[in-house]
A and B are shown apart, each in its own frame.
Chain A
């Protein structure tokens, strides 16, 4: 039983399946860009207003884009029986869930991290703010993927989820949002943000170590 080979196989398979359908990859990203475009149009295109709102709006847009991409995380696998095979396999289920979460982050979170600086420029964020935005998103989006995977696993057995996934997962994502958005704000004002960055890192480590176990338990519950 080579665990690292199993893990890499899971990630590679997820990526291969995802790249066969480009459209599904693009929609959360398009959503991110669209939401970020709504605020200047609805509020005011004035530089000062956008500079003040930028960190918050971009972080919230990233959060919502992540939520959007979470529904499909486990659903197709449960429907076609792949998840059952993973549960029954001799490999640890938390590792498989972690592999799927990593693939989800590579497909949804990492593009957000890459796209965010471009949008930050349209919000007239100062250079320090743009750098802080990328850094906080880099640390924060994996945590969002991990939390989202736990929520998706809990609701995977439910017929019509509606807003249930968002209701479950958003309260847990709030600390990440708070630290990420406020750190970006502080950096734009010229402050040091090592404190919030450490806290984001701590949240990431906490989620990384415990949430795959919880998600695996939730998948087992949903599959019965």
Chain B
């Protein structure tokens, strides 16, 4: 019954599936991104306190959300790779890391651009900002550690272990605005209870969060396909796929 699940660990099978699902994630995500951006930049009314400047939230919040979610996904995938020795899981984590680091950088930069008009300063060493910066360093550490090994399986396992150790930073980022009195505002979207943001500003935000997650999914599938080809370039199925013999091309 679980054969379909177990087959996912096979590189050629995953390569094929990712090629099929990739466009199904990419094009809807682009459409939803366009709708969400239109809703956020044009349809949503200006904020009574912040004016038009609040619209950077529509880039900042999805990026920040993705930066932590991608790291959590990397930690889970790395743990799967370490426990069940599934190389493809490590390939997925390796492919996700640069995307996650980019979203973290975007979150930090858009936060800085938003902070200047709103708080009067580009940066403040408060818990939320600092722990997000630490997340960026952890991403860089993951990628550097991976790059410093020549043997791929050693690189996988060492960086996988680092990803699992670094996951302790995520609760700190998430709860930092609740535990400490931080300059960064508290959560506007709660799991229970009504959100503290008006509906016509909320729907583009939720749509953009969903759309960027789909976009990340599409990017991840394409990157994993490339990573799989790179790792398995000597294997038979890759050569059959591209009709090449070793040494040619």
Residues of A within 8 A of B (CB): 150, 154-155, 157-161, 164, 167-168, 170-172, 174-175, 211, 214, 217-218, 221-222, 224
Top 3 nearest A-B pairs (CB, nearest first) are A171-B137, A221-B157, A168-B141
**Complex: A159 Cα to B149 Cα, angstroms:** 8
Binary interface encoding of chain B residues 144-156 relative to chain A, with 1 for a CB under 8 A from any of its CBs, else 0:
1100110001100
B86 at the interface (CB under 8 A from A): no
Given contacts A171-B138, A171-B166, A172-B166, contact A157 B149 (CB under 8 A): yes
Residues of A within 8 A of B134 (CB): 171, 174
A138 CA to B140 CA, complexed, in Å? 30
B158:A222 contact, CB within 8 angstroms: yes
Q: Which residue of A lies closest to B137 (CB)?
A: A171
Cross-chain contact B161 with A221 (CB below 8 angstroms): yes
Shortest Cβ distance from A160 into B: residue:
B148
**How far is it, in angstroms, between the C-alpha of A167 and the C-alpha of B154 when the chains are bound?**
19
Q: Any chain A CB within 8 A of the CB of B169?
A: yes
A-B contact count (CB 8 A): 58
Q: Is B172 an interface residue (CB 8 A)?
A: yes
User: CB of B165 within 8 A of chain A?
Assistant: yes
Asked whether B162 is an interface residue with its Cβ less than 8 Å from the other chain, the reply is: yes
- What distance in Å separates the Cβ of B153 from its nearest Cβ neighbour in chain A? 8
CB neighbours of B149 from chain A (8 A): 157-158
Interface residues of chain B: helix, strand, loop or mixed (majority): helix
Residues of B within 8 A of A175 (CB): 172
Distance in angstroms between the alpha carbons of A15 and B124 in the assembled complex: 44
Interface of A is mostly: helix
Known: A155-B145, A217-B82, A221-B157. 8 other contacts (CB 8 A): A150-B165, A167-B137, A171-B134, A175-B172, A211-B165, A214-B165, A217-B161, A222-B158
Within B27-50, the residues touching A (CB, 8 Å) are: none
Known: A154-B162, A167-B137. A221 touches B154 (CB 8 A): yes
Rounded to whole angstroms, the CA-CA distance of A224 and B165 in the bound complex is 21
> Which residue of chain A has the shortest Cβ distance to B127 in the bound complex?
A178
Contacts of A159 in B (CB 8 A): 148
- In the assembled complex, the Cα of A158 lies from the Cα of B157 at a distance in Å of 13
Most buried by A among B134, B138, B141, B149: B141
CB atoms of A218 and B144 under 8 A apart: no
CA A218 to CA B154, docked complex, whole Å: 10
Task: Give A82 Cβ to nearest chain B Cβ, in Å.
Answer: 20
CB distance from A76 to the nearest CB of B (A): 20
Select which of B148, B161, B168, B169 is within 8 A of A218 by beta carbon: B161
CA distance A170 to B137 in the complex (A): 9
Complex Cα distance, B145 from A164, in Å, reads 7
In the complex, what distance in Å separates the CA atom of A160 from the CA atom of B148? Answer: 8
Complex formed: what's the CA distance from A93 to B82 in Å?
18
A60 to nearest B CB, angstroms?
Answer: 14
- Contact A171/B154 with A155-B145, A164-B145 known, Cβ cut-off 8 Å: no
* Bound: A158/B159 CA distance, A: 12
Choose from A157, A160, A167 the contact partner of B158 (Cβ within 8 Å): A157
Can you report 28 A-B residue pairs in the complex whose CB atoms are below 8 A from each other? Answer: A154-B145, A154-B158, A154-B161, A155-B148, A157-B149, A157-B154, A158-B148, A161-B148, A164-B145, A164-B148, A167-B144, A168-B141, A168-B145, A171-B134, A171-B138, A171-B169, A174-B130, A174-B134, A214-B161, A214-B164, A214-B165, A217-B82, A218-B161, A221-B157, A221-B161, A222-B158, A224-B153, A224-B154
Q: Whole-angstrom distance from the CB of B162 to the nearest CB of chain A?
A: 6
Complex contacts, A167 vs chain B, CB 8 Å:
137, 140-141, 144
B145 contacts across to A, CB distance below 8 A: 154-155, 158, 164, 168
Smallest Cβ distance from B163 to chain A, in angstroms? 11
- In the bound assembly, the distance between CA atoms of A60 and B138 in angstroms comes to 20
Residues of B near A172 (CB, < 8 A) are 165-166, 168-169
- Complex Cα spacing A164 to B141, Å: 7
- Cβ contacts under 8 Å, A174 to chain B: 130, 134
A157 to B146, CA, bound (A): 12
What is the bound-complex CA distance between A222 and B145, given in angstroms?
12
Identify the closest chain B residue to A224 (Cβ). Answer: B154
Alpha-carbon distance A171/B142, docked complex (angstroms): 12
| A211 contacts across to B, CB distance below 8 A | 165
In angstroms, Cα B137 to Cα A160, docked, is 20
